[in-house]
Amino acid sequence: MCEFCVRHGDGRKWYLEAKNYAEDLLSDVRRRRFIADFLGQADHLGRQSKQLERLDSAPAFVRRAVGAFITRRMKVEHFGQVVPLEDIEEIFRFVNSIVRVPCICRHINLGREVGYCYGVSLGGGSFADILGEQDSSYLGAPDTSAFEKLGREEALAAFAEHEKEGLCHTVWTFMTPFIGGVCNCDRSDCLAMKATVIHDVKAMFRAEYVAAVDRDACKGCRACMRVCQFGALAYSAADKKAFVDHRACYGCGICRSACGHNAIALTPRSESPVANLW
């Protein structure tokens, strides 16, 4: 299990613990201020992303030191974990409020508003309420009319569509351990996934799972390889089968959805040879 499961989940999956979505955490005034500032600071996040790109050309010891500093800070403020669809379903069973909002990362990278992010809470309050009471704005604009309150089934259907698009589901803290957001990421547009996978600055944990290919069921069509965001699937020409590099696998389960032959399953990371790789 990841360190958040130990510290915030009593040894269970921390993101399935209702206490980490609870109203008493959300009612903390400092946390509400942090959320309001975070949601309004697209320009600042865009600048930080550019700085990370420049870090790639720095000497290795500088990259390591700066990367470790950023990761330490993010674990306190805003850190994520990859979560497969079945665990998203569990989360949606106990939260009381699901609000779809335009994704900050796509706003920064593409200049477009795309509803790939979802604010969640147990208390029924939404991001719009927090922005209103803090006299703040979303993405630097006062307009929150694009916020959509969704029912559980609607949200689940939306996530199934995101899964078909090849997007990887993630949970996000707003001052850890409070989980306030569930997102749908890819490494071309998600700043945190880019930081983690491309710039080697960890902003999210891998899932509590890894993928496994059933060699008897695999037909070697390679559909799974096309959707993996992490380059974790390869192909044996001699065998005509796909195989998973567990050191690269984030356990998102997107390959499983793409396989038309039911040849991929998710298995617990704790039982794999990469049990300690997060």
Binding site residues, ligand SF4, CB under 6 A: 211, 213, 218-224, 228, 230, 232-233, 242, 244, 249-255, 258-259, 261, 263-264
Cβ 36 to ligand SF4 shortest distance, Å: 33
28, 169, 229 from 181: Cα distances, Å: 17, 11, 21
C-beta closer to ligand SF4: residue 84 or 125: 84
Which CB, 157 or 217, lies closer to ligand SF4? 217
Give min distance, CB of 47 to ligand SF4, in A: 29
Report how far residue 172's alpha carbon sits from residue 91's, in angstroms, rounded to the nearest whole number. Answer: 13
Residue 234: Cβ-neighbour burial (10 angstroms; 0-12, 13-18, 19+): middle
Best CA proximity match to 212, nearest among 154, 251, 184, 178: 251
Q: Nearer to ligand SF4 by C-beta: 87 or 129?
A: 87
Candidates 228, 263, 268; CA nearest to 245 is 228
Q: How many residues are listed for the chain in this entry?
A: 278
Closer Cβ to ligand SF4, 179 or 258, answer by number:
258
| C-alpha torsion sign, points 162, 188, 14, 278 | positive
How far is Cα 209 from Cα 70, in angstroms, rounded to an integer?
25
In the complex, least distance from residue 20 CB atom to ligand SF4, rounded to whole angstroms = 24
Q: Which is nearer to ligand SF4, 98 or 233 (CB)?
A: 233
Q: How far is the CB of 116 from ligand SF4 (least distance, A)?
A: 17
Which is nearer to ligand SF4, 82 or 130 (by Cβ)? 82
Minimal CA–CA distance to 21: which of 101, 125, 115?
125
CB of 226 to ligand SF4, least distance (A): 9
In the complex, the smallest distance separating the C-beta of residue 1 from ligand SF4, rounded to whole angstroms, is 18
Give CA–CA dist 242/214, Å, rounded: 9
